Structures are given as C-alpha cells and as structure tokens.
Structure 1
Amino acid sequence: MKILLIEDDLDLGNGVRIALADQGLDVVWVRHMAAADEHLATAGCDLVLLDLGLPDGDGLHLLAKLRRNRSGVPVLILSARDALPDRLQGLDTGADDYLVKPFELAELLSRVRALARRSYGFDGATLELRGLCLHVPTRRVAVRGRPVDLTASEYVLLKTLMMRADHVVTRRSLEEQALPGAQANASNSLDVHMANLRRKIGEGYIRTVRGVGYVIDQDNGQGAAR
C-alpha cells in the first residue's frame, strides 16, 4: 500500500514514516503542499495522511482540489485543530477520517488499517479475490490453494492491482511502482511482465483497458481479458 504523508514537522513526520514503514507500507513523505500536489499528479497513492497547517498553504485547499478532480483516494487528516467546527470542516471538505494531534502511533496505524479495509478490502496481511490469495508478510501467492512463484516485479504488479481491485491502474503507475528504471524504459517491458503474470495465475483475473492500463475485477462478469 502506497501512502503519501504530508507533514511539515520533522520529528512527527519521521516518526510516522518509520512506524508505517515498519508495517510494510510504502511511504512517500513530503513537507509542502506544492510537493504533495506534484506527487499526486504524477505518481498517485493509495492513501493520504494530510496535515492542515503547511508552510505554503492550508491542507484543506489540497483536499478540496482532490475532491473537485473526483479523486476517491482516502484522506486521513492529522491536525492540531481540535475544535468541533474544524473537524466538521475537514470531514465536510472530503476527508474520510480526522485525527487530532498529539496522537498515539498505535491509533494512527489502527485508523490507517480501517481505511484500507473500507476502501480496498485490505486487512493488513492478506488480499483475497476469487481464489487468488496474496499474503503480504510472507509475499506468498496462491491460486485456489496452489502456490505460485512470482518474481519481485510480478509480485508488486499483482499486489498493486489487487489493492486497487475494480479500479484501473495506469501503465505509468504500474511501471513506476514495479519496474526499475532500466526495465520501465523498454517499450514492451510492462506487457512482458504482465503476460508472464497472467500465465502464472491464470486467465480471468487481469483485464486490459487498452490505451490506459490494467484492472482486476472483483468478479469476472466482464470476462477474461487478454
């Protein structure tokens, strides 16, 4: 799971980054709204942890922009603004949750897991979809109980798609997350990796959205894709 942490406080940001990384989460930490805006536009993420009092603006403006662009990425506000009107404003602007500073890291992690379950059906350990099972702590993959041996790149591709089930993941996003620079530069590298992944897990899981990217559907009512 890829998390964008937007927090200008060095001590708090570093503590949150370490705590999330210890849980096996992929964390990108930025300290300014402009950097966050650029990252969201170019790389994207699965969840945003958003401070409101940023050096170059109010985090609520970034949240409002996300929702205007119809981005459904879950957002958890982390803020020292503890008055009821502030919390209501954050939630009404589009936040999925609001955590007042100071907070315990254990509570933050619990809320992150809750948002992941709510948004992606991810319990922090296992992803399951139509007989396809991916166990995050051990990186083991099985199809209807049959173990599947994946390369590191294939594993990241599959995990990314399963985390975003029913959402199309763009080619660019998959290349950035799963393929090293040298591989991503090859025009057909992603297609080769995806073909190998499909061969190993079987047809009927990964659907191609031509000219855009790939998606794993919660059900296969749309048919197997090639």
Structure 2
Amino acid sequence: MAPAFDLTLYLVTDPCLTAQHGLEATVEAAAKNGVTLVQLRDPQAHGRALVQQARALKALLAPLGIPLLVNDRVDVAMAAGADGVHLGQDDMTPQDARALMGQEAIIGLSVGSPAELAGSDLTGVDYLGTGPIRATGTKANAGAAIGPQGLAAVRALTLLPIVGIGAVTADNAGDVIRAGADGIAVVSAICAAQDVGAATAHLRARIEDAR
C-alpha cells in the first residue's frame, strides 16, 4: 500500500476561494503553517490546465515533504506526478485506480454514512473522507450533514484512517477529532481566510488541543 502520510490537517483547494491570494500562494502559506496534505480540486478546469496546476503544486510541496492528491482525476494525477487521488462514490473504483497508479499512490475514498461504507469496496483504499460534518457550500453534491456523531458511527466500523470533511472550522475541529477522526479536511477555513498562514496555524492548534 501507500507510504506513510499524515491526515492531521488536510487542505482541499477551491478555485473561487483561492482567487483572492492565488492558488500557489494560498497553498504555500498553508503548507508552511501546519497543513499536512493537499488535495487539488477544481471541477471546472479542463485536463491541461489541471495538469499544469498539479505540477506547480507538486513542485511547491515536494521539498516540504507534503503529499499532493488530485480530486477524481487519476489521469491528471499520473500525468503531473502527484502522490495520489481522492475518489468519490461515482468515480473510478479505488481498485482500478490502484492498478493504474501502483502501490506507492495514496488513494482516498469519500464515505458519507455507515450504509455507504458497507456498500463500498475498500480494496486499494488508504483512507476515508467522511462527511459532510455540517452543510457545506463548496460542494453541491456533498450529501446530508452527518455531524460528529455520524463520523463516530463510521469510525466504529473500520480501522482505516478517517478525515472529517464538510464545513469543518476552528470551532468544530475539536469535536471532529474527538469523534474519532485522524484529521480534518478544510476548504473555506483556509482558502477563504484573509491571513492564510494564521488561519492554518490556528486550526492546527485546535486539532492538537483536542488530541
């Protein structure tokens, strides 16, 4: 399976929200202030532009030892030399992604409930993205909010690492960790911040406090 990775503070990018500072500047500030994993997510970008973005982020993150994943697009991840992918329930299966990307890739899967977990083939999966914790405006098809209690219900059914996602902020990060998550994944809490570095450091501190 994949090499060791750290879900503690997982940044998922959003092209609209990173526009105020720029994608690379946002990711760099977050990476230098406590982010441990980055996922490039841009549903509107075409393949070529997405590959260029991924290559730029990989060049920025690799010297810092922070893995880069690409949302949904196995082809883009492979072309850009990214460290892995995060897949939804309707994307390529993790098993097929693993066959294409090899044993060194990090492969995540979105699971929103115990029922969805029970219906998922976890072959090739390294971690689960579970949520949304609260209703979120950054992903239209995210499903119903499950709260920390819903995450805890998924946690009870699997030994895979779990990252809680979906409107996670500094205010509820501790609740997500205490519910059994190995880390939190955030979009707006970092990408929309006026001071990205300070927001990242504050989130990281809340996680460590909860632990």
TM-score range, shorter chain: 0.3 to 0.5
Tell me which structure has the larger Cα radius of gyration. 1
Structure that is richer in strand per residue = 1
- TM-score normalised by structure 2 residue count: 0.37
TM-score, normalised via structure 1 length: 0.35
